[in-house]
Amino acid sequence: TITPIRKICCIGAGYVGGPTMAMIAKQCPDIEVRVVDINATRIAQWNSDTLPIYEPGLHEIVMESRGRNLHFTCEVDSAIAEADMIFISVNTPTKDFGVGAGRAANLEFIEKCARKIADVSTGHKIVVEKSTLPVRTAEAVKAILSGSSSGATFDVLSNPEFLAEGTAVEDLLSPDRVLIGGESEAAIGALVDVYAHWVPRERLLTTNLWSSELSKLTANAFLAQRVSSINSISALCEATEADVDEVAMAIGTDSRIGPKFLKSSVGFGGSCFQKDILNLVYLCEYFGLPEVAEYWEQVVKMNDYQKRRFVNRIVRTLFNTVSDKKIAIWGFAFKKDTNDTRESAAIYVCRDLLREKAKLSIYDPQVTADQIKKDLQDVLRNGDAELSEASARLIAENVEVVDSVEAACCNAHAIAVLTEWDEFGKVDFPAIYRSMQKPAFVFDGRNVLKSLPLDEYGFVYQGIGFRR
């Protein structure tokens, strides 16, 4: 028999935990949802008027339920103890030490959650893996939970999240599918009933635990592979006068290929694509499948190549030197409509331009100056404490973060568009042209200015995957 869920606890108030739980609370007024985190600042932000993450539509849905059946709190133990169902939505970054460093997922946060749940639970609970995890993690989670000293019992489900940042609310409201993997029909049914409050039943897919865990890594690998595939073709387009957007359109109308995720760019970013593919690569090696590992690793290599290629093209076009030249950086987030910069291509492009001794003036409508400088500091330091001072000085002397594209462009030799923010298409280009050094170059890493008459205004314009 399926007992309806009355209380949910979600461990991890991040980009996934926050929006996902806000949607459950909105759609299920009969369920009390508590989102907990060990990061007290983050919880305070969720309880304030300025939420810790920027997502279109998120503010409205949080305000609708917060204080009613949606609560953000640091009281982890009591929230777990009182819940019928506990989502684990903590970060699973790439391990940067020990066995599997640089590839394997660091599961210490997952394990700590499982131990915490085992410690404070009584009775029966359903534990849901929401984080993206290597296949067979549920085995470890079950083993840890079975050691609960109170004799509590558990069902473990896998329910990976497929939302994309920038469209999180839309994606949660009408997902293509919700995937639930598990062993117990009753536990699966309980989670199905939660989603069935707003998601049509035919979109609620149920599988075994391992298929569900592996489907998440596979979905991200396939998506990223499409971007790397079209980016590889963009290099060939530049060499041959084919136009990558025309090629993408031409192949995307084949219903077997489909039009989405074929936008050539300066490279994919975000917290997950690279991390999840590297994790997949590690798993393949672990299970003795080096050919499969090598196949997927190429997706990440191609992405690194695309970022490097973009910088090389800037340097080459600017007469082989960017030393002391001001370059305006338009956009720092890894895609539009988010303030997230994790693994953003902008970080690597800026790093390489700084190494070429360029001066950068960076504008992003949502990312704070502190975040930009922290990201650059981290990438320049690359884990080496001894480089802290030198990289801080490099940033202090060569990077400014400004609050408009106009400020970024004044006296600049070139503009590099790194995020596809809508507002970039709407600026006064003739005025910007007048304020810049001549020749004034535009390197469009997103092809968002391609349809504008930039050449007529006087700019030398280059995008990704075509030549004019």
**Binding site residues, ligand NAD, CB under 6 A:** 11-17, 36-39, 42, 76, 89-92, 109, 112-113, 131-132, 161, 163, 165, 271-272
Q: How far is the CB of 341 from ligand NAD (least distance, A)?
A: 12
164 is in an annotated binding site: yes
Q: What is the total residue count of the chain?
A: 468
189 is in an annotated binding site: no
16 is in an annotated binding site: yes
Q: Quick one: 86 or 415, whose CB is closer to ligand NAD?
A: 86
| Cα R_g (the chain), whole angstroms | 24
Q: What residues contact 298, with CB distance under 8 A and at least 6 apart?
A: 228
Q: How far is the CB of 247 from ligand NAD (least distance, A)?
A: 29
The interface partner of residue 148, options being ligand UGA, ligand NAD, none and the CB cut-off 5 to 8 Å by kind, is none
27 is in an annotated binding site: no
CA dist., res. 328 & res. 368, Å (int): 16
Q: Quick one: 34 or 42, whose CB is closer to ligand UGA?
A: 42
Q: Quick one: 167 or 211, whose CB is closer to ligand NAD?
A: 167
Count CB atoms within 10 A of the CB of residue 435: 15
72 is in an annotated binding site: no
The interface partner of residue 353, options being ligand UGA, ligand NAD, none and the CB cut-off 5 to 8 Å by kind, is none
162 is in an annotated binding site: yes
Tell me the CA distances in angstroms from 146 to 109, 118, 121, 446, one per residue in order.
Answer: 18, 8, 11, 50
Alpha-carbon dihedral sign for residues 38, 70, 32, 188? negative
The interface partner of residue 445, options being ligand UGA, ligand NAD, none and the CB cut-off 5 to 8 Å by kind, is none
Closest CA to 377 of 357, 407, 359, 354: 354
The interface partner of residue 112, options being ligand NAD, ligand UGA, none and the CB cut-off 5 to 8 Å by kind, is ligand NAD
Q: Quick one: 112 or 381, whose CB is closer to ligand NAD?
A: 112
Q: How far is the CB of 342 from ligand UGA (least distance, A)?
A: 9
Count CB atoms within 10 A of the CB of residue 182: 26
Residues 285, 272, 268: CA angle, nearest 5 degrees: 105
266 is in an annotated binding site: yes
Q: How far is the CB of 446 from ligand UGA (least distance, A)?
A: 8
Q: Quick one: 103 or 446, whose CB is closer to ligand UGA?
A: 446
Instruction: Report yes or no: 19 and 37 within 8 Å, Cβ to Cβ.
Output: no
Q: How far is the CB of 371 from ligand UGA (least distance, A)?
A: 16
Instruction: Report yes or no: 135 and 96 within 8 Å, Cβ to Cβ.
Output: no
Q: Quick one: 85 or 230, whose CB is closer to ligand UGA?
A: 230
342 is in an annotated binding site: yes
Q: What DSSP element (H or E) covers 157?
A: strand 153-158
Catalytic pick among 28, 113, 272, 409:
272
Provide the CA 262 distance to its chain's centre, in angstroms: 18
Phi, psi angles (nearest 5°) of residue 449? -105, 10
Tell me the CA distances in angstroms from 436 to 224, 361, 431, one per residue in order.
Answer: 36, 13, 9
Sites of contact with ligand UGA (CB under 6 A): 132, 161-165, 220, 223, 227, 261-263, 265, 268-270, 272-273, 334-335
26 is in an annotated binding site: no
The interface partner of residue 227, options being ligand UGA, ligand NAD, none and the CB cut-off 5 to 8 Å by kind, is ligand UGA
Longest Cα separation, the chain: 75
The interface partner of residue 90, options being ligand UGA, ligand NAD, none and the CB cut-off 5 to 8 Å by kind, is ligand NAD
**Backbone angle region of 146, left / alpha / beta, with phi > 0 → left and psi within -120 to 50 → alpha:** alpha
Residue whose token pair is 């949607």: 23
Q: Quick one: 166 or 267, whose CB is closer to ligand NAD?
A: 166
Q: How far is the CB of 425 from ligand UGA (least distance, A)?
A: 16
CA dist., res. 183 & res. 50, Å (int): 40
Residue 272 annotated in active site: yes
The interface partner of residue 268, options being ligand NAD, ligand UGA, none and the CB cut-off 5 to 8 Å by kind, is ligand UGA
> How does DSSP assign 365-411, residue by residue?
SSS-HHHHHHHHHHHHHTT-GGGHHHHHHHHHHHEEE-SSHHHHHTT
Q: How far is the CB of 383 from ligand NAD (least distance, A)?
A: 19
Token digits for 81?
């103890």
**Residue numbers belonging to the annotated binding site:** 12-17, 37, 42, 90-94, 131-132, 161-165, 216-220, 256, 263-269, 272-275, 334-335, 342, 446
**Residue numbers belonging to the annotated binding site for NAD(+):** 12-17, 37, 42, 90-94, 131-132, 165, 272-275, 342
**Residue numbers belonging to the annotated binding site for substrate:** 161-165, 216-220, 256, 263-269, 334-335, 446
Active-site residues, by number, are: 272
